[in-house]
Amino acid sequence: METIVIIGNGIAGVSAARHIRKLSDKRIIIVSAETDYFFSRTALMYVYMGHMKFEHIQPYENWFWEKNRIELVRGYVDHVDVANKKLLIDGSRALPYDNLVVATGSKPNKFGWPGQDLHGVQGLYSKQDLDLLEVNAPNKEVCKRAVIVGGGLIGIELAEMLRSRDIPVTFLVREKNFWNGVLPEGESKMINEHILEHHIDLRLATNLKEIVSDENGKVKSIIIAETGEELPCDMVGLTAGVTPNIDFLKDSGIELGRGVKVNRFLETSAKDVYAIGDCAEQHVAIGYRRPIEPVWYTGRMMCETLAQTLCGNRIEYKPGHWFNSAKFLDIEYQTYGWVFSERGRKDYEAQFHWRHPKEKICVTISFHNDTQQFLGINTFGIRMRHEVFDRWLTENRDMDYVIEHLIDANFDPEFYKHHEAAIVAQYNAEFNKQVKSRKKSLKRIFVSS
């Protein structure tokens, strides 16, 4: 029987195993170092905050694996021998494979800051990082102040976590506004305000110069590059992005860039070796996507394709329209299609921005300057329907149509206040139009079913 070995039991590796099992009877072995069972990395924060216990963030009960004949091996792969189709686990055990799937995810970036390896300095990626955080910052008595370096999605999650235990947090963000490499300015600024509302000491356009040690090799303070100010602290969180976790492949002969290089079939340069999830790097970026896409959803999508390929139906990885979501403290964020920040803005891209006069709710819709074609939407504090936007993007709808039917896309819970009227009014005023909001139609919404 053919044996498929998967390295990494994250969302990518596990979804691959599940899909392969659905399509075939092949032997499936998952080797992973971090934990015995798959857990949801995206939910680590909720364990520290006390919303859930660690067992709750494991999406499958423990009997699931045996029942589906997915063999789990706990161990670290040090070496892949592609010539003999063998792995070496923990320096001792050899494991042969017929097909190998590399799904080893990422690790936190470290940019060579002085003091980055001191005690009390850590990233937030793994279960081990979570355990370490309980040591470094169990409460506000042990950790009188924490400093977070890097204003991305993980940084703001870490800030929220620490604040849930009343630990004072200073948040160093390199950009002029929070996450404004991705978000248009209006949205970035709204999030700035919200961060301050949560009593987080947000320092914009601020870089870390060095982390200072006390006599025991533990962090004592940090120094800010711009001002030279020294901030005493007991914990430093490094959350300035992630890089593929592929050092163990360096001598394997598999072609590597920042990640494991793959083609559109997710095949690496070595025969019968594939890579998926955070650690895969496309030779050529797909559409506006980046060559490496370290998000939950792409890992999951790649598996559906790869499972087909491994089960005899070789097909290309073709992600559909881009979507993503996150939560900034109390504000939910969703995006469908492409809305670029000032930095990445295309010359044909125009944007329409509406913000609620009082509450932290806003919407940005981007469209093509000449054709008026709808390109994408960012929403904050309003939930939107994935299916509807996906359809509109496929159908190349124009801006007027989207504005007119925006109510169909609303996904807020029942009885929520609607903002479509205000949005339409501002759109009409700004672009000198006479668009009227349609009535919500279940027929249109559920058209595909």
9-38 binders of ligand FAD (CB under 6 A): 9-13, 31-34
Q: What is the per-residue binding string for another protein in 83-122, x denoting contact by CB under 8 A? A: ----------------------------------------
- 209 makes contact, choosing from ligand FAD, another protein, none, with CB < 5 to 8 Å by partner type, with none
Rounded Cα distance between 130 and 122, Å, is 10
Give the Cα separation of 126 and 44 in Å (integer): 8
Phi, psi torsion values for 375, nearest 5 degrees: -115, -30
Residues of this chain, 144-183, that bind ligand FAD according to CB under 6 A: 153-154, 157
Stretch that binds another protein, among 116-124, 238-246, 397-405, 407-415 (CB under 8 A): 407-415
- Closest to ligand FAD by CB, 76 vs 411, is 76
Distance of alpha carbon 434 from alpha carbon 280, whole angstroms? 47
CB of 5 to ligand FAD, least distance (A): 11
Strands 374-380 and 362-368: antiparallel
| Binding letters toward ligand FAD, positions 281-310, x by CB under 6 A | -------------xxxx-x-----------
Q: Which of residues 1-40 bind another protein (CB under 8 A)?
A: 11, 22-23, 40
The residue count for binding ligand FAD (CB under 6 A) is 35
Q: What is the dihedral of CA 381, 384, 390, 395, to 10 degrees?
A: -100
Q: Which x/- pattern, by CB under 8 A, does the window 316-355 give for another protein?
A: --xxxx-x-xxx-xx-x-x---------------------
| One-letter amino acid of 243 | T
Answer with the entry of ligand FAD, another protein, none that 146 interacts with (C-beta below 5 to 8 A by kind).
Answer: none
Alpha helical stretches, state H, 323-394: 386-394
- Cα separation of 77 and 55, whole Å? 25
**Residue 2 CB coordination number (10 Å):** 12
DSSP-based three-state secondary structure for 392: helix
Alpha-carbon distance of 223 to 210, in angstroms, equals: 5
Tell me which H or E stretch contains 423. Answer: helix 420-431
Indicate whether 124 belongs to the interface with another protein (CB under 8 A). Answer: no
The nearest distance, CB 363 to another protein, in angstroms, is 14
Task: Name which of ligand FAD, another protein, none residue 145 binds, using a CB cut-off of 5 to 8 Å depending on partner kind.
Answer: another protein
Burial 65-99 (b: 16+ CB within 10 A, else e): beeeebebbebebeebebeebebbbeeeeebebeb
Of another protein, ligand FAD, none, which one does residue 188 interact with (CB within 5 to 8 Å by kind)? none
CB 237 within 8 A of CB 147: yes
Q: Which does 294 bind (CB under 5 to 8 A by kind): another protein, ligand FAD, none?
A: ligand FAD
22 interface partner picked from another protein, ligand FAD, none, CB below 5 to 8 A per type: another protein
Interacting positions 231-270 with ligand FAD (CB under 6 A): 245, 248
Distance CA 406, CA 420 (A): 7
For residue 124, the Cα-to-chain-centroid distance in whole angstroms is 13
Binding-site ranges for ligand FAD (CB under 6 A): 7-13, 31-34, 41-42, 44, 76-77, 103-106, 124-125, 153-154, 157, 245, 248, 277-278, 294-297, 299, 326
